[in-house]
Every structure is written in structure tokens, then in C-alpha cells.
Structure 1
Amino acid sequence: MNSSKIKKPELFNEGNKKIEFAEMHMPVVMKIRERFLREKPLDGVKISAALHVTKETAVLIKTLSVWGANIFLSPSNPLSTQDDVAASLAKIDNIVVEAWRGMSSEEYFMAIKDAANFKPDIVIDDGADLHITLHEEMPKIAEKVIGGNEETTTGVIRLKALEKENRLLYPVIAVNNALTKFMFDNRYGTGQSSIDGILRATNILIAGKRAVVAGYGWVGRGIALRLKGMGARVIVTEVDPIKALEAVMDGFDVMTMEEASKIGDIFITATGDIDVIRAEHMLNMKDGAILANAGHFNVEVSVKDLEKISDSKEEIRENTVKYTLRNGKHLFLLGEGRLVNLVAAEGHPSEVMDMSFANQALSVLYLINNKGKLEKKVYNVPSDQDQYVAKLKLETMGIKIDELTPEQVKYLESYK
């Protein structure tokens, strides 16, 4: 065992089996791994990563490790680590893992700081806690970073804010903004896995329930679509008039949270903002309403407000806490208000993370190959990389598509 800090090293065999299963369902990453295996393009490169320690993440980390990288893996959520996966990765010599399920806030941020102190050449993040720690607390280390990747909408927003203030210390690839990421990972991945988490935590019947989805970005779209498919009567709340209009024309009811709070049975936040569901909404809710969050941080459902208006709380199922309000009603909070799909379930299916992590791996190579050539900005994934990942995915699914003939290309490029 290397210098990893994990809680259940005895689970490494179970972790090995999980990772093997994920590798079978992530053929794009495996093809890319094999393509660059002999070259060892990351030989000697130090990578610090703050990611959900799941079997899918393990496929990415193992790919980077066999390419020659030395890796420090920390979590991006105190409750999303799969301990068996962490134990499996910790057995690999050039990978250090500091993550376990149920970390305290202090332990979580210590792991992030330890990842920063690894003095990485490349930073891979999911939510930007590691990026922000490097910028705010360790700028001298950050100045020597070649570049970084960011996996989430929330993280990209934070990094764009740094860039706007001219404080970004290294170039970052917004992997989240790749079409082969957000159109599939955010929509189909979160859509399915969030409902998976709700069902594992509660085992409720979705059909016939009024489900309120806060936010109609790609995550909210995916959740609303899957709820509708399972028979829920879906309500969308929004602050963006265009997204609200889109939700209406997609067949959903749209109203304010004040209105929705009075009639909803299930509430799922997916906005990336704070205090989406507050005390005034909670006090309006039906007895027995369920609160869940699918945004990156545990700030969308105001747990602070929930605590203030409650007389007592009790964990009645794993990842389900019943709050008894002072007005006598009961509300059920799932996963402490953290990402319900990762706290109460296993996160996105391997097949959808196949494209996201293919983009992560290729973006690391892009940063290395363009060392010193990029400005300190947030960049989108190169379009040819996006297209390449999509083509590989179709190929692994046994699907062929048409190609333009030379005449068709000429026609489309002509003004006549």
C-alpha cells in the first residue's frame, strides 16, 4: 500500500470487479487508452484530481496512470466516494488516493489541500474546489501548473469568474462544455441517476406524483424527461424566460416555486445556485413532501432554513431524514441535500461517462501537447476532439452514419 488514506482497504477485490465491469461499458475510453499505451505520453507528469471516486472515475484514473502519470486523487464530495473503488486504486503504485465515504468537511478540504500540495502539472476537477484552493491558498503552486480541466457547469462558472477578474493562473479546458459531455452526461446521466437515487432512498412510486424540477438547463431537462416517462406530473420552475418557454413547449407546467411548493410531492433542484428552496417554500409544502438536490453543492435546498423551522429530525432510512416542522408537517430530505445521484445511488451510468471521461483524457493530452502556447483562459474542448469522441462512441455501438459527397460539400460551401 502506498501513502493513500482510505478507510476500507480490505474491499479492493470488490473494487476490482466494479472497475472491470465499468471498463466493459466504457469502450471509448478503453480505445483511447490502448491508442496511446505504447507512447506513454504522460510519463513523469503529475496530476491532481478532485473527482467523485466511482468505478467510472477509476477507468479514467487507470488510463492516465498507464500513460505514465503520477496521480493524487481526492474526492469532489464528502459522500460520493465508493470505498471499494478507492481501495482498488490505492493498490496501484503511481496513484495516491485520499478519499472515503462520510468525510467531515474538515477531512474533505484537507484532502483537497493535500492534492494541491502534490504540486501538479495538470489539475482535473469536478466543481472547482481544487482549482479555487490552488488560486486562493497556494498561488505559487498554481503558477507552475501547465493547465487544468473542469467537469461541471458549476465549476466552469467559478473559473469564468476568476478569468473575468484576470485572476486565472493557468489555462483550463471546460470539459463540461463539450457537446459529447453536457448533452449526454448532464441530460441522460443525471436524469436517470437522480431518479435512481430517489428510488433507492425512498422506494416511492413516481407515477401520479407531482414532481417539481427547479431549473431547466441540461440537467433539469434530463430529470424532467425521465420523471415524465415514469408517469409523474412534472412542474418546472425557472428564472430564465427562454428556458421557461422551452419547458412549456416541451409539455411541462411552469410556475413559480411559491406556487409549486403548495402542490408538489417531490422537489428536485438543478440550478447551481443557492437557496432555491427556502423556509417560506418549505412551510407551504404538503405533509410528507420529499426534497432532493441534483446540483453540485448542497446549497440549493436550504438545510439551514429547514433546521430552523423544525422541532426534530430522524433518519428513517439510509440517506433519508424526516424533519418534523413546527407546524406539525413532515418533510423528507435526501442525502443531506447533496448530490442525490451520488449519495444515494452510484452516479451516472458507465456508458454516458464513457464520453465525458474520454474528453477528460484527451484534454489532458491537449494541455500537455500545447504547454506554453495557451493563454490563462477558460477554453472549450476543441471541436475536432468532440467529433472524434462522438464518432468513436457510434463505432463502439455498431452504428454507421452517412458522409457528405464532394458535390454535397461544394454545394453547402457555395453562396449560389
Structure 2
Amino acid sequence: MPYDIADPGLAESGVRRIEWAARSMPVLGAIRDRFAAERPLEDVRIAACLHVTTETANLLRTLQAAGARISLAASNPLSTQDDTAAALALEYGIAVYARAGVDRDGYYAHIHRALDLVPDLVLDDGCDLVNTVHTERVELLQSIRAGCEETTTGVIRLRQMAREDALGFPMVAVNDTQTKRLFDNRYGTGQSTLDGIMRATNTLLAGKTVVIAGFGYCGRGVAERAKGLGAQVVVTEIDPVKALEATLQGYAVTPMAEAAARGDVFITVTGNRDVVRAEHMALMKDGAILANAGHFDVEVDVRALHDMAVEVVPDVRPHTDCYVLPDGRRLLLLAEGRLVNLTAGEGHPAAVMDMSFAAQALTVAWLTGERLVAGVYDVPPDIDAEVARLKLASMGRDIDVLTPEQEEYLRSWRHGS
């Protein structure tokens, strides 16, 4: 099995951590058992560009149990867990191309090697693999039947490709399922982002002013958890509806130009670029913390921060770099501006990823029986509902069932008040 990993000697440790995560992923485990019996992906080739974590490993084990042949590249060099990569390559027989901290050239070289499988289906997290196919590996457009996208940033890029008629095959927006938006994005990102910040800085959030750029599902989750830890939360937004929602939930809402002088901690969760710019950083307090929980390292203008600084002190704490400005103020950039929750922390808890990856696994199996034209598709609602039912069952929770009379009432327009 071909692979490019940092240290094969880490495989045993990786297996232990993958199995530990599996304990908190009962829904995916139930699907894996079903797939092992039914083999819905027999001889299907899948190329994936995902965060190389223990939770991802359990998704790939599930697809492998269904009969798939899999190659994997990392979707973020700083989130790669080298022991997980070693275990996948040496213990589970998956072609893995991922090393923690690899440079940009190495990152794209790994994507190309994953694509050398000549996949039937693709799994992406951020659209870099799909983008590479459309720009550098166009010969694969003839073989790729469909794929899935895991994150908000990737879905934004895919929808733009579809609007421009540039998307060469169907992609399913797994990110947009209710079970992912409500639980993964809100509870997973909310908890793991603050966990990463606290691990990197050991700061006390109670009493601090935390500025959150973006009040989508991820931003809401971060805001809820920051408020719960005693922080004063300020939200910045470009969407008037989301800004109004944040206001009615009790958060202060201001433009970033006003929030910049108030904040102690800044967290970007937008999926856009240059959200925190030079003019904002020029106003920030000494010791202000900059963290990004959006997918790519473009939300904080790191290049502008480099240009502003007279000195950079790397690794004042793990994953924390100190930028000294001409007037002596120090700004602390976490995780090089990359995903703070997956770089400084361990990412989403396995119990949350259980639902996201269960939806992913079921969608991949569904795609094998569908013939769709190029475009961006939602996950079928019955898959979302099945994931929720399986999760409730794993938690020992029951729900009500409609009576025949209730079903008839909902179907009919003839009943009056």
C-alpha cells in the first residue's frame, strides 16, 4: 500500500486513539456493521481530502468495510495527526499522503497522489481536491461520478463553480444537513474553538471581551460557549438578518472597526478573507489574541500583520506567535491563522463527528445508485432523519410516533378550525 507519512512507528498509538474515538461514534459503528454485510461500495474508488484525525479514520474504516478502495490526503497540514496517518496506512491498509506541518508544495503534491487512484467518487473538505481536478487533473473529469463536500467554505466555492457552469460533476453539500449544521457546526465548532484557544494561551475567558466575526451556525456556537464561560461577546456581521438575531440574543453587534479597540480575543468564523485587516489590528489592545475558526488561513490578514510587526517571536506558547508592533503592543496569533480548533486543539468531539460522518457515509452509498447531472445537491432528507434516529437510539431516547388520525389530519386540507 503506497503512503507518505511522518513516522510509521506511531501506528500503534494511532490505533489506540482511533479505537478510543470509535467508542463515542455509535451511529457510524452501526452503519459500518451494516455496510460490512451489504458491501454497497464494492470496488468503488474514493479519493478524499479531509482532516486526518481519529474521527476521519473511523469514517474511512466504514467506507472500507463497504468495499471501497480509498486514498487520503490532508485538507489542512496543521490538523494532521501523524499517529492517525500511520495507523491508517499500516494497520488499516488505506493509501495515506499526509504529514503534519507539510509546506504548500507538499500539500498539493499529496492531493495529486491521492487523485492518482483515478477515483469514482471524491470526498472534500474545503474544495481544494475538487479545484485541483478542475484546474490540473482535468483528465479525471471523465471518471469521477460525484462527490461530497464537508465544510461551509467548500460549499461556497462549489456553488460559485456551479453558477459559472464550471463544475464538472455532481457534488453533495453534506455540510448543509441539519444534523451537521445544528450539531457539528454549532456544538462542535463552539466547544473545540474555545478549547483550542485556551490550550494555546491558557487565558481566562471570564470577564474578557470576545469578538466573533460571523454569526452563522459556527459563530452562534462559539458565541454561546464564550458567553457561558463568562465572556462579554461582541458580534460583527455583514448580514442584517444574522446581525438582528445576534442582537435579539443579547450580544453587542458592531462593525469590526469599532470592535477592534474593545476586544481581548478575536475569533473569525466567516468563510471569507481579510475579515481582520491592518486597520483593525492597528487599533487592538496590547496582548489581543487573534484566532481563526474558518476553513482557510485568509480570514486574518497574516501578511499584513507580518508587515506591521518589527519583531516576531514564534512559539511563545505552543501554536502561539507574538507579533511586536512599532509602539510596543503585542498581538498574539494562534495556529498561524489556520483552524485553531484543529491545530491547537483536537477538533470536534468524536460524538459530534459521529453524526456528520454518518451522514457522509450514507450519502456516499446513496450516490452509487444515483445518476445526477453536474451541480450542487442537498443530502436527501431521509438520510438526515435516519442519522438523527440512530443517534437518539444510541442515547436511549425515544420519540413519539404519529397516530393514523394525526397523519390523515396533516395530509388533508378539509379540516377546519
TM range (shorter): over 0.9
DSSP 3-state at the match of 1:71: strand
Q: Is the contact made by 2:359 and 2:383 (CA closer than 8 Å) also made in structure 1? A: yes
DSSP 3-state at the match of 1:43: coil
* Structure 1 position 356, deviation (Å): 0.4
User: Match of 2:125?
Assistant: 126
Partner amino acid for 1:251?
A: G
Q: Distance in 2 between matches of 1:209 and 1:93?
A: 45
Partner amino acid for 1:381?
A: V
Q: Percent identity, aligned pairs only?
A: 54
DSSP 3-state at the match of 1:173: strand
Q: Distance in 1 between matches of 2:324 and 2:337?
A: 16
User: Match of 1:374?
Assistant: 372
Q: Distance in 2 between matches of 1:48 and 1:202?
A: 36
Partner amino acid for 2:292?
A: N
User: Match of 2:319?
Assistant: 319
User: Match of 1:256?
Assistant: 255
* Structure 1 position 334, deviation (Å): 0.1
User: Match of 2:406?
Assistant: 408
Q: Is the contact made by 2:11 and 2:91 (CA closer than 8 Å) also made in structure 1? A: no
- Higher mean C-alpha deviation, range 326-335 or range 291-300: 326-335
Q: Distance in 2 between matches of 1:9 and 1:114?
A: 19
User: Match of 1:278?
Assistant: 277
User: Match of 1:385?
Assistant: 383
Q: Is the contact made by 2:35 and 2:62 (CA closer than 8 Å) also made in structure 1? A: no
Q: Distance in 2 between matches of 1:46 and 1:324?
A: 49
Q: Distance in 2 between matches of 1:256 and 1:336?
A: 24
User: Match of 1:333?
Assistant: 333
Partner amino acid for 1:226?
A: R
* Structure 1 position 344, deviation (Å): 0.3
* Structure 1 position 143, deviation (Å): 2.5
Instruction: List aligned pairs for 1:56-135, cutoff 5 A.
Output: 56-92=55-91, 94-135=93-134
Partner amino acid for 2:321?
A: V
Q: Distance in 2 between matches of 1:323 and 1:411?
A: 64
DSSP 3-state at the match of 2:126: coil
Aligned residues: 413
Q: Distance in 2 between matches of 1:90 and 1:310?
A: 42
Q: Is the contact made by 1:275 and 1:299 (CA closer than 8 Å) also made in structure 2? A: yes
DSSP 3-state at the match of 1:412: helix
DSSP 3-state at the match of 1:284: coil
* Structure 1 position 169, deviation (Å): 1.1
Q: Distance in 2 between matches of 1:217 and 1:369?
A: 33
Q: Distance in 2 between matches of 1:340 and 1:179?
A: 24
Q: Distance in 1 between matches of 2:28 and 2:140?
A: 30
* Structure 1 position 408, deviation (Å): 1.1
Q: Distance in 2 between matches of 1:279 and 1:205?
A: 26
Partner amino acid for 2:46?
A: I
Partner amino acid for 1:380?
A: D
Instruction: List aligned pairs for 1:198-347, cutoff 5 A.
Output: 198-315=197-314, 316-347=316-347
Q: Distance in 2 between matches of 1:42 and 1:36?
A: 8
Q: Is the contact made by 1:65 and 1:94 (CA closer than 8 Å) also made in structure 2? A: no
Tell me the alpha carbon deviations over residues 170-212 of structure 1, each in whole angstroms, 9 at most, x when there is no partner.
Answer: 1111100111111110100000000010011001001000000
DSSP 3-state at the match of 1:262: coil
Partner amino acid for 2:312?
A: K
Tell me the alpha carbon deviations over residues 48-79 of structure 1, each in whole angstroms, 9 at most, x when there is no partner.
Answer: 00000000000001111122111111000010
Q: Is the contact made by 1:14 and 1:84 (CA closer than 8 Å) also made in structure 2? A: yes
Partner amino acid for 2:306?
A: E
Q: Distance in 1 between matches of 2:363 and 2:83?
A: 28
Q: Is the contact made by 1:320 and 1:332 (CA closer than 8 Å) also made in structure 2? A: yes
Tell me the alpha carbon deviations over residues 204-225 of structure 1, each in whole angstroms, 9 at most, x when there is no partner.
Answer: 0010000000000000000000
* Structure 1 position 317, deviation (Å): 0.8
- Higher mean C-alpha deviation, range 159-168 or range 246-255: 159-168
TM-score, with structure 2 as normaliser:
0.98
| Structure 1 runs of 4+ with >3 Å offset | none
* Structure 1 position 312, deviation (Å): 0.7
Q: Distance in 1 between matches of 2:167 and 2:308?
A: 40
DSSP 3-state at the match of 1:90: helix
Where structure 1 has 5 or more consecutive residues not aligned to the other structure, the ranges are none
Q: Distance in 2 between matches of 1:23 and 1:36?
A: 16
Q: Distance in 2 between matches of 1:410 and 1:309?
A: 67
